[in-house]
């Protein structure tokens, strides 16, 4: 099959963004298990170190900071961001093309600014959904329960979360994740309606 240019507007783009610990990953995983939504996960590229059992090409495409910067220079990203110094995240254009060539819709689990960048580039074929935690305090509890980061890193994420929450009104839809079962039902309906529209 010929490679689709990303600007040929093939499939739909479903963006889930939220502060870390809001539950967006849980929601995205749930949606990926629903066959009739025809979704494929967009694997992000990152220059951060692998955590735990993460695998290259499954959880992320792990690149060195130098490799990441080269790809930025070569305009290989749909969107990218330097989250912390030399800690990059981004979506490779080839990743979206790969999914569209399978005839599927792309679902993103992506940070707030990346999500909004995709929405700005492809407003007609993107739905941008913001997952909101019940409160900042609850967010901090969830991040601590993960036991994957230092107290300093958690505090950095909580500080960043306050700024991210302020962007919620820029998204198409906000799902408040204070009851996971309800959030999953809402997400399925919202995504299903959008895909079929």
Query: What is the phi/psi pair of residue 29, to 5°?
Result: -60, -40
Mean pLDDT of the chain: 90
pLDDT digits (tens, 9 = 90+) for 101-158: 999 999 999 989 999 999 999 999 999 999 998 888 888 888 888 877 788 888 888 8
Region 66-72: mean pLDDT is 97
Which of 7-16, 83-92, 115-124 is the least confident region? 7-16
Choose from 6-15, 69-78, 105-114, 137-146 the range with maximum mean pLDDT: 69-78
Region 22-43: mean pLDDT is 95
Q: Which two tokens stand for residue 167?
A: 């962007």
5 vs 43, residue with greater confidence: 43
Whole-number Å distance between alpha carbons of 165 and 112: 9
The answer on pLDDT for 22 being more than 70 is yes
Q: pTM higher than 0.75, yes or no?
A: yes
The answer on pLDDT for 2 being more than 60 is no
Q: How many CB atoms lie within 10 A of CB 94?
A: 16
196 vs 1, residue with greater confidence: 196
Check residue 6 and give its pLDDT.
52
Check residue 60 and give its pLDDT.
93
Region 91-99: mean pLDDT is 95
CA 56 to chain CA centroid, nearest Å:
17
The answer on pLDDT for 69 being more than 60 is yes
Check residue 33 and give its pLDDT.
96
The answer on pLDDT for 181 being more than 70 is yes
Alpha helix segments (H runs only) across 33-179: 65-73, 93-101, 112-121, 136-146, 151-165
Domains and CATH numbers, the chain: 10-195 (3.40.50.300)
Check residue 131 and give its pLDDT.
96
Q: Which two tokens stand for residue 172?
A: 């198409």
Share of the chain above pLDDT 70, in %: 95
């Amino acid at each position: 099959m010929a490679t689709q240019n990303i600007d040929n507007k093939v499939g739909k783009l479903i963006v889930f963004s939220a502060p870390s610990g809001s539950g967006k990953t849980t929601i995205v995983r749930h949606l990926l298990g629903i066959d009739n939504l025809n979704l494929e996960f967009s694997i992000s590229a990152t220059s951060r170190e692998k955590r735990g059992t993460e695998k290259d090409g499954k959880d992320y495409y792990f690149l060195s900071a130098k490799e990441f910067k080269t790809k930025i220079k070569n305009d290989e990203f749909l969107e990218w961001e330097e989250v912390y110094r030399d800690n990059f995240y981004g979506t490779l254009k080839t990743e979206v093309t790969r999914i569209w060539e399978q005839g599927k819709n792309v679902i993103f689990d992506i940070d707030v600014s990346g999500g909004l960048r995709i929405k700005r580039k492809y407003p007609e074929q993107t739905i941008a959904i913001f997952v909101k935690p019940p409160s900042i305090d609850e967010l901090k509890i969830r991040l601590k329960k993960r036991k994957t980061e230092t107290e300093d890193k958690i505090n950095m994420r909580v500080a960043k979360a306050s700024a991210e929450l302020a962007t919620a009104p820029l998204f198409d839809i906000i799902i408040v994740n204070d009851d996971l079962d309800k959030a999953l039902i809402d997400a399925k309906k919202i995504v299903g309606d959008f895909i079929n529209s």
